[in-house]
Chain A
Amino acid sequence: MIAVIDYGRGNLFSLSQALQHLNTCYQVTNDPEDVARATQIILPGVGAFGDGMRELNRSGLVIPIQDAARRGVWILGICLGMQFLVDSSEEFGDHKGLGLIPGRTRKLSTNGFSRVPNVGWRWLHPKGNNFLSDLAPKTMAYFVHSFAVQTDFKESVLANIKFNDEDIPAVIRRDNVIGYQFHPEKSGPAGLELIQRFLRCSCEG
């Protein structure tokens, strides 16, 4: 069973609808025991980093998620959920993340035409040979964020977007932990396909 983590922030309705559309078996939960039993974990998220991590801590979910990652359970972080996967964030102060992928988040550059928050559709530029390599060319996804992941662990970045001429990580991965900066549940048919690919990864190991 897929555990979709609900820590009281944001719209889980659309993600649930997308999972139903894909005929998957999932459970929306904030119960650490459900998370401990899950075969896959989806960590969605909107809002602010510090506030979100505080809610995860308060619900006792941080350790079960970290343990699951260590056991090889596949985890997908979406948007803010992807940012939780790294070590820390500089959003409104300095906050600790889950530390599953090396990196930190920083504010997007406002130097150019594109405005912050980055709201809208962007081309995904996959790199290297991985589960995105055969994605249809010119696949676009929907983004809403003001902060972006920055990592020295370059091989963890599987796809970028261009934002004010900078490369911004759109997909990151370390072993069984994957992050999507975009909202696949809001990215039309291409987004559903990207959820499907995560699920396929986790079935194939």
Chain B
Amino acid sequence: MDPARVIARLDVKGLNVVKGIHLEGLRIIGRPGDLARRYYVDGVDELLFMDVVASLYGRNSLLGVIEDAAKDVFVPLTVGGGIRTLDDIFAVLRAGADKVAINTEAITNPEILRTASRAFGSQCIVLSVEAKRREGGWWEALTDNGRQMTGRNVLDWVKEAEALGVGEVLITSVDQEGTRKGFDLALVKEVREKIKIPVIMGGGAGTAEDVTCLLRSEKADAICCASIFHYDICSIRELKNTLSNEGFEVRV
């Protein structure tokens, strides 16, 4: 097993970090810079900023937020939401991001994954997938922060994206997202068995036990949480202590 990689996800709308359930009904949590710094000091391994309204308005407004965070947060920063062109990626990287997460544009124009991976390196391009469980035992990839159906099977889609050159896949279970009822373990298992690149799993963590459960399944290369940190159910330090007591390696 690799050391556990704990990522805090900050969904950003305008100037605020927000949190919903199933990606809807957003509540304001705080300022992105304040939360980023708090989580950094508390030992977070990575931060993910997601502009949750960007694809709706066709722009990414996170540049200022990233620049602010990158001043004194020295862990990797990933930025997603509204990334459409190589220029968008370049702008986000210049502002201090290390990776970009692409969902909506990749579905409509998969070639962007190939050109972006070539231009910036695979390590920089993360495919973001919003997965919705469907009857008959499959998952559909949604876009526009869970608003649009695509008809695409998540397992086929991640395979295609891997071939196009992305370096990691971030899976968000729309069914579990914000519910604090635990991860969709069947989903992450199927995805990780389908591809050979690292898989980040998110959506549903409500307790430290949910995270231990996911790690014990050995089907995720990294875990992504929001609610448990935002609502102080468990701080990053507490989570890492629990993981360490359970025998997992963590950065302290």
Contacts and interface: CB of A to CB of B under 8 A. Distances in A.
A185 B76 CA distance: 9
Interface of A: 9-11, 13-14, 17-18, 21, 46-48, 110, 113-117, 119-123, 138, 140, 142, 144-146, 183, 185-189, 191-192
B123 A120 contact: no
Interface stretch (B1-9, B144-152, B180-188): B1-9
Given A11-B97, A115-B221, A142-B76, A110 B196 contact: yes
Given A46-B121, A46-B123, A142-B75, A117 B98 contact: no
Contacts of A123: 3, 249
A18 B72 CA distance: 8
A119 B71 contact: no
A13 B197 contact: no
A187 B98 CA distance: 13
Contacts of B94: 11, 13
| Interface of chain A, main secondary structure | mixed
5 contacts: A11-B97, A113-B218, A115-B196, A117-B198, A120-B222
Contacts of B251: 121, 140, 188
Contacts of A189: 74
A191 to B, nearest CB: 6
Interface residues of B, number: 36
Nearest to A18: B74
Given A115-B197, A186-B74, A48 B121 contact: yes
A186 B70 contact: no
B11 interface: no
Contact of A122 (B3, B120, B123, B218): B3
Interface string B91-110: 00111111000000000000
Contacts of B167: 117, 119, 144
A120 B96 contact: no
A14 B5 contact: no
Contacts of A18: 74
B45 A121 contact: yes
Nearest to A139: B251
Given A11-B94, A113-B1, A115-B221, A120 B72 contact: no
Given A10-B120, A144-B123, A187-B74, 8 more contacts: A11-B96, A13-B93, A116-B197, A142-B76, A145-B123, A188-B43, A189-B74, A191-B74
Q: 7 closest Cβ contacts across the A-B interface? A: A47-B121, A13-B96, A140-B251, A120-B5, A144-B123, A115-B198, A121-B251
Nearest to B92: A11
B197 to A, nearest CB: 6
B163 to A, nearest CB: 15
A110 B197 CA distance: 10
A48 B45 CA distance: 25
A113 B124 CA distance: 22
A2 to B, nearest CB: 18
A138 B252 CA distance: 9
A14 B3 contact: no
B72 A17 contact: yes
A66 B94 CA distance: 28
Contacts of B72: 17, 21
A17 B96 contact: yes
B168 interface: yes
B40 interface: yes
A186 B5 CA distance: 14
Contacts of A110: 196
Interface string B224-252: 00000000000000000000000001011
A119 to B, nearest CB: 5
Interface string B1-21: 111010000000000000000
